[in-house]
Amino acid sequence: MAKDKQPRKPRAETPKGFRDYFGADVVERREMLAKISAVYERYGFDPLETSAVETVEALGKFLPDVDRPNEGVFGWQDEDGDWLALRYDLTAPLARVAAQFRNDLPSPYRRYAMGPVWRNEKPGPGRFRQFYQCDADTVGAPSVAADAEICAMLSDALEEVGIERGDYIIRVNNRKVLNGVMEVAGILDPSDPSKFEAERGIVLRAIDKLDRLGPLGVLALLGEGRKDESGDFTTGAGLTEAQAKVVMRFVMATTNIHDRMVERFFRPENPLPEPSELGSTLIGILFPDMLAISMSHPAELKVETLEYLSSIVGISETGRQGVEELEQIANLLLAQGYGPDRIRMDPSVVRGLGYYTGPVYEAELTFEIHDEKGRKRQFGSVAGGGRYDDLVKRFTGQAVPATGVSIGVDRLLAALRAKGRSGAQSQGPVVVTVMDRDRMADYMAMVGDLRRAGIRAEMYLGNPKNFGNQLKYADKRGSPIAIIQGGDEAAKGMVILKDLILGAKIAENATLEEWKDRPAQVEVPVAELVDAVKTMLALYESPAR
């Protein structure tokens, strides 16, 4: 091959793991976030927009131990030696702001934030290195009333964007109850919390996988470990059978355990067990008290669940406190009318992040979608959060209680699309075609009139020679109407409106009865252009919006 002396042309590529959003996608997200903002503001939350860049020191966790900090963040060294990085979430910047401006901000400080965050992770299908988060947090409120408020607000926000009641559930748990269970199981020593840290980590991650692995999978991870379908072995926490039972009894104390068992054991591919057989399954043996609870009506479960949880964490002070807090949250929510149809307690909620110290909560969409393999599955989690009382302390040395939620913006948008409730079928513009290059000023004047009347309109700005290209352009833009004025029309002071939607329908099905009497184009005096366009557009206005 001959050597190419030309400088190589740069590749026109979105960097790996990043993406670009076009047109309707941008509008759709903007509209959804506007609705969420309105709810947050009604709750007294103020917007905060921090810089995208933080010092690595302020972000924490990701300190530059080698040459550069590449553990999960995008970082670089400043001229004056400081390490800077893109924020990886919206909570770390909030903690920094709460410490930095503590004398100026109201206390408690309710704030919401929306914006991109960046993760330096291997990109994969559906895994991006820049994505949107939408957070709301209350800093400086020790009372669990703040947690209850966030759960209520999350419920309102989901309904506001178009997730109907019954299509979602917010599940609440408390890390303190979890810690109580760990105490009872003998893997948390309140006098030396550093002991058994590794075991507790494995236990938390195992509980978090209940949905995916089922009770037996979790049980395996609590013990010796588990081999998955691909043959990979995950080391377990090494608990004894007695210890594992304590944890499992707790995990299964969930109000929707029944639904899950049905889902898991009654799958089409499995032989159908008799209802009476349930009692003899492993679950029935391990957790006999669960069945009674899970079979009764959810609305009556609150007290039973709390009593049941108390019986498990009995001897642990932390555990007892946790159960009390859950009860307070339930009461505060019920006082505002948020019952278990919207928000309920669920001991299997763990939330991965290490920094949670109290209540944790998660919003799950319960309607079914078809996954990439065509199988039905629940849509799953779209938001989560909890109480983290130690994040601000890193900066100030003083504990500052805080709690907050983060909505996965892209997942929620995907859910709205799956439910057909996304509002982003934005209308294409009316296109004024150019028949005569010397009369561009006339066409421009028409476009100006349409725009002044609030109608989305464009003049064709490409090379006007080929009229077919102009109509192809109008088609690509999703234009409802093309405006045409050749020399003949201009001489008469007339202009032609071509109904492109009707045109497309006729092309699709030329014999369609309902269209046969409607003209696909009309000629009107130039002075009546705006009114004629309005009349034609009105035919296609979606009654749903």
Binding to a second copy (CB under 8 A) within 337-396 occurs at 337, 394-396
Q: How far apart are CA 289 and CA 307, in angstroms?
A: 12
Q: Are 479 and 429 in contact (CB under 8 A)?
A: yes
Q: Of these, 275, 454, 468, 543, which contacts a second copy (CB under 8 A)?
A: 454
The least CB distance from residue 537 to a second copy, in Å, is 14
Contacts for 351 with CB less than 8 Å, ≥ 6 apart? 208, 360, 362, 384, 385, 386
Binding mask 238-257 toward a second copy (x if CB under 8 A, else -) reads --------------------
Q: Of these, 19, 35, 264, 411, which contacts a second copy (CB under 8 A)?
A: 19
Q: According to CB under 8 A, which residues from 511 to 530 bind a second copy?
A: none
Query: Which one of the spans 101-109, 226-234, 294-302, 482-490 is the region binding a second copy (CB under 8 A)?
Result: 101-109
The least CB distance from residue 284 to a second copy, in Å, is 37
The least CB distance from residue 350 to a second copy, in Å, is 25
Say which DSSP state 13 is in: -
Q: How far apart are CA 12 and CA 18, in angstroms?
A: 13
The least CB distance from residue 219 to a second copy, in Å, is 38
425 binds a second copy, rule: CB under 8 A: no
Q: In what order do the strands lie in the sheet with 53-55?
A: 53-55, 83-86, 75-77
266 binds a second copy, rule: CB under 8 A: no
The residue with tokens 């109907």 is 164
Q: In what order do the strands lie in the sheet with 457-459?
A: 457-459, 430-432, 481-484, 494-499, 521-525
35 binds a second copy, rule: CB under 8 A: no
Q: Residue 25's CB: how many other CB atoms inside 10 A? A: 16
Determine the 3-state secondary structure of 149 from DSSP: helix
Q: Which helix (H) or strand (E) element contains residue 14? A: none
Q: Residue 526's CB: how many other CB atoms inside 10 A? A: 17
The least CB distance from residue 100 to a second copy, in Å, is 4
Cβ-in-10-Å burial (0-12, 13-18, 19+) of 463 comes to exposed
Q: Which is nearer to a second copy, 69 or 319 (CB)?
A: 69
Q: Of these, 285, 335, 510, 544, which contacts a second copy (CB under 8 A)?
A: 335
Q: Of these, 265, 467, 473, 515, which contacts a second copy (CB under 8 A)?
A: 473
Q: Which is nearer to a second copy, 113 or 257 (CB)?
A: 113
Contacts for 540 with CB less than 8 Å, ≥ 6 apart? 480, 501
- Side-chain-facing half-sphere of 276: CA atoms under 13 Å: 0
466 binds a second copy, rule: CB under 8 A: no
Phi and psi at residue 35, in whole multiples of 5°?
A: -65, -40
Q: Which is nearer to a second copy, 360 or 450 (CB)?
A: 450
The least CB distance from residue 481 to a second copy, in Å, is 13
Q: According to CB under 8 A, which residues from 104 to 123 bind a second copy?
A: 106-108, 110, 116, 118
Q: According to CB under 8 A, which residues from 475 to 504 bind a second copy?
A: 476-477
509 binds a second copy, rule: CB under 8 A: no
Query: Which one of the spans 4-12, 350-358, 495-503, 530-538 is the region binding a second copy (CB under 8 A)?
Result: 4-12
The least CB distance from residue 336 to a second copy, in Å, is 4
The least CB distance from residue 408 to a second copy, in Å, is 17
Q: Which is nearer to a second copy, 138 or 243 (CB)?
A: 138
The least CB distance from residue 521 to a second copy, in Å, is 21
Q: Of these, 15, 125, 126, 231, which contacts a second copy (CB under 8 A)?
A: 15
Phi and psi at residue 66, in whole multiples of 5°?
A: -105, -130
The least CB distance from residue 321 to a second copy, in Å, is 16
Q: Residue 86's CB: how many other CB atoms inside 10 A? A: 20
**Packing angle of the helix pair 241-251, 197-208 (nearest 10 deg):** 40
- Side-chain-facing half-sphere of 473: CA atoms under 13 Å: 20
Q: Which is nearer to a second copy, 99 or 181 (CB)?
A: 99
Q: According to CB under 8 A, which residues from 37 to 96 bind a second copy?
A: 41-44, 46-55, 57-58, 60, 68, 70, 74-76, 78-79, 82, 84, 86, 96
Q: Which is nearer to a second copy, 55 or 234 (CB)?
A: 55
36 binds a second copy, rule: CB under 8 A: no
User: Amino acid letter at 543?
Assistant: P
438 binds a second copy, rule: CB under 8 A: no
Q: Of these, 242, 461, 507, 510, which contacts a second copy (CB under 8 A)?
A: 461
The residue with tokens 């108390």 is 310
User: Amino acid letter at 416?
Assistant: L
The least CB distance from residue 477 to a second copy, in Å, is 5
332 binds a second copy, rule: CB under 8 A: yes
Q: How far apart are CA 244 and CA 239, in angstroms?
A: 6
Q: Which is nearer to a second copy, 283 or 471 (CB)?
A: 471
Paired strand residues for 253: none
Q: How far apart are CA 58 and CA 87, in angstroms?
A: 10
Q: Which is nearer to a second copy, 160 or 208 (CB)?
A: 160
Q: According to CB under 8 A, which residues from 142 to 171 bind a second copy?
A: 142-143, 145-146, 148-149, 152, 156
End-to-end Cα distance, the chain: 60
Q: For strand 521-525 and strand 494-499, is the pairing parallel, antiparallel, or unpaired?
A: antiparallel
Q: Are 438 and 481 in contact (CB under 8 A)?
A: no
